[in-house]
């Protein structure tokens, strides 16, 4: 059903319809509207889950860890410093192979204190062992949450759905929120397999002490399983498109001139601005395109390499930075491409702390990458 609704409210609505058993969260800007709505649904008797008001983000993550370990569907949401406070538990959740879904309303991290959007928070925990998805607009964010539960529960790998704070969380736009009946066709009731959850009738320990030999083997298994999850994610994207009639079955999406020599690479809501700029540049006779990275973990290296095969100039736009190095997405793209392309690749850091990213900036970046020296550039 089409609704004109705030992004946060849409996320809360679709999470409710995905039928989790336990939700625990702590409010933090700009994520607060999500958990406010989820708490209200529970208080008003419109949802069957148990909502736990935790005293911190660390506690919220610990609560859903414990709940998931009993074999039920669980969910939490956070942002910025809250996500960083969860860091210890995020690693434990992934290491215990618990299929939790988390919404990160992306926001800058301190200091100085800043409540506006960039993607530094999620990028900081990119190595915690979670599958990481990024939405361009609120419709995609809604759809990614439905997918996230199904992917997590099949792979036993937790999934983080990222949406840009304020830009998406507090923006009203028309979206199609599927009915619970429609979602049930795609997302069945979660039934944890025997031996994978705590059960007094079948005693089992989870997350116990591991020797160096065991620990390394466990981490290797997790890493390989994250990589191999790409095929499952693609499969579920195809199934979703077949059932709901929208979305792409690709981990990366190419938009613009198919023979473009200049390609801009980005994640999240900034892709919408880039698309508008690309349209104007192509109308003016320039051959430019944008490559959207929808799935950051597992990293779609082969898919990116294929999409960039005709490019001569590649500008990677990051809303985060590995301080002392360059944009984080840029580092990953360069590693994926290696020496397999003759293209010039350059890292551009944009929008930190919520600074506006305009079409003019995007057009200037498209020009700069053609003549630039390949060094990191902060675009202000």
What pLDDT score was predicted for residue 128? 98
Residues of the chain with CATH 3.40.50.920: 252-378
Average pLDDT taken over every residue of the chain: 97
Contacts of 375 (CB under 8 A, 6+ apart): 346, 347
Facing residues of 242 across strands?
A: none
b/e string for 343-356 if b means 16 or more Cβ within 10 A? bbbbbbbbbbbbbe
Are the C-beta atoms of 96 and 107 separated by less than 8 Å? no
* Closest to 260 measured CA to CA, from 307, 303, 311: 311
The DSSP line for 88-150 is HHHHHHHHTT---EEEEEE---SSS---S--SHHHHHTTTSS-EEEE-SSHHHHHHHHHHHHH
Contacts of 83 (CB under 8 A, 6+ apart): 57, 90, 104, 121, 122, 124, 125
- Torsion sign (Cα): 83, 89, 93, 99: negative
Can you say whether residue 339 is alpha, beta or left, with left for phi > 0 and alpha for psi between -120 and 50 degrees?
A: alpha
* Closest to 290 measured CA to CA, from 309, 266, 306: 266
Share of the chain residues as helix, strand and coil, in percent rounded to the nearest 5 = 40, 20, 40
What pLDDT score was predicted for residue 195? 85
> Around Cβ 114, how many Cβ atoms within 10 Å?
16
pLDDT tens string, the chain, 380 residues long: the values are 799 999 999 999 999 999 999 999 999 999 999 999 999 999 999 999 999 999 999 999 999 999 999 999 999 999 999 999 999 999 999 999 999 999 999 999 999 999 999 999 999 999 999 999 999 999 999 999 999 999 999 999 999 999 999 999 999 999 999 999 999 999 999 999 888 899 988 898 888 999 999 999 999 999 999 999 999 999 999 999 999 999 999 999 999 999 999 999 999 999 999 999 999 999 999 999 999 999 999 999 999 999 999 999 999 999 999 999 999 999 999 999 988 998 999 999 999 999 999 999 999 999 999 998 899 999 99
Which segments of the chain are extended strands (E)? 2-6, 22-25, 50-53, 74-78, 101-106, 131-134, 159-164, 172-176, 252-256, 262-266, 288-293, 295-297, 313-318, 344-349, 377-378
**In whole angstroms, how far apart are CA 327 and each of 9, 163, 199, 340?**
31, 19, 45, 21
| Mode of pairing for the β-strands spanning 252-256 and 288-293 | antiparallel
3-class secondary-structure state, position 172: strand
What pLDDT score was predicted for residue 76? 99
Structure tokens given for 234: 């693609």
What CATH number matches the domain at 2-244, 1.10.3720.10, 3.40.50.970, 3.40.190.10, 3.10.350.10? 3.40.50.970
Residues of the chain with CATH 3.40.50.970: 2-244
* Closest to 23 measured CA to CA, from 55, 68, 89: 68
Token look-up 């498109």 returns: 241
Q: What is the pLDDT of residues 193-240, one digit of tens each?
A: 888 899 988 898 888 999 999 999 999 999 999 999 999 999 999 999
What pLDDT score was predicted for residue 95? 97
3-class secondary-structure state, position 348: strand
Q: What are phi and psi of 128, to 5 degrees?
A: -85, -5
What pLDDT score was predicted for residue 1? 74
> For residue 11, how far is the Cα from the chain centroid?
13
Q: What is the pLDDT of residues 261-315, one digit of tens each?
A: 999 999 999 999 999 999 999 999 999 999 999 999 999 999 999 999 999 999 9
What pLDDT score was predicted for residue 347? 98
Are the C-beta atoms of 42 and 12 separated by less than 8 Å? no
* Closest to 254 measured CA to CA, from 187, 327, 178, 309: 309
CATH 3.40.50.920 fits 252-378, yes or no: yes
**In whole angstroms, how far apart are CA 28 and each of 55, 193, 246, 375?**
12, 34, 32, 36
Are the C-beta atoms of 206 and 198 separated by less than 8 Å? yes
Q: What are phi and psi of 359, to 5 degrees?
A: -60, -35
């Amino acid at each position: 059903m089409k609704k004109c609704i705030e992004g946060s409210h849409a996320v809360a609505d679709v999470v409710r319809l995905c039928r989790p058993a336990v939700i625990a969260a702590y409010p933090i800007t700009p994520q607060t509207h999500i958990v406010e709505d989820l708490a209200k649904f529970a208080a008003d008797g419109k949802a069957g889950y148990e909502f736990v008001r935790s005293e911190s983000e660390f506690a919220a993550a610990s609560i859903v860890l414990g709940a998931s370990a009993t074999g039920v569907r669980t969910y939490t949401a956070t942002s910025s410093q809250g996500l960083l406070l969860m860091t210890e538990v995020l690693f434990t959740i992934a290491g215990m192979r618990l299929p939790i879904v988390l919404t990160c309303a992306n926001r800058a991290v301190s200091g100085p204190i800043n409540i506006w959007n960039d993607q530094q928070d999620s990028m900081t925990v990119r190595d915690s062992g979670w599958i990481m998805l990024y939405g361009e607009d609120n419709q995609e964010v809604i759809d990614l949450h439905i997918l996230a539960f199904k992917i997590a529960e099949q792979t036993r790998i937790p999934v983080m759905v990222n949406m840009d704070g304020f830009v998406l969380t507090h923006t009203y736009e028309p979206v199609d929120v599927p009915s619970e009946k429609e979602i049930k066709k795609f997302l069945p009731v979660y039934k944890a397999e025997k031996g994978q959850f705590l059960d007094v009738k079948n005693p089992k320990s989870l997350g116990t002490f591991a020797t160096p030999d065991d620990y390394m083997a466990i981490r290797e298994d997790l890493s390989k399983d994250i990589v191999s999850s790409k095929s499952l994610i693609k499969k579920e994207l195809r199934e979703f498109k077949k059932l709901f009639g929208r979305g792409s079955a690709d981990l990366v999406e190419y938009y613009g001139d198919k023979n473009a020599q200049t390609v801009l690479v980005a994640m999240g809501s900034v892709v919408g601005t880039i698309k508008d700029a690309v349209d104007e540049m192509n109308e003016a006779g320039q051959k430019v395109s944008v490559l959207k990275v929808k799935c950051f973990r597992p990293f779609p290296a082969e898919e990116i390499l294929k999409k960039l095969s005709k490019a001569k100039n590649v500008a990677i736009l990051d809303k985060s930075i590995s301080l002392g190095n360059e944009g984080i997405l840029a580092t990953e793209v360069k590693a994926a491409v290696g020496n397999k392309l003759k293209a010039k690749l350059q890292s551009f850091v944009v929008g930190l702390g919520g600074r506006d990213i305009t079409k003019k900036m995007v057009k200037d970046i498209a020009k700069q990458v053609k003549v630039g020296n390949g060094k990191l550039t902060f675009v202000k």
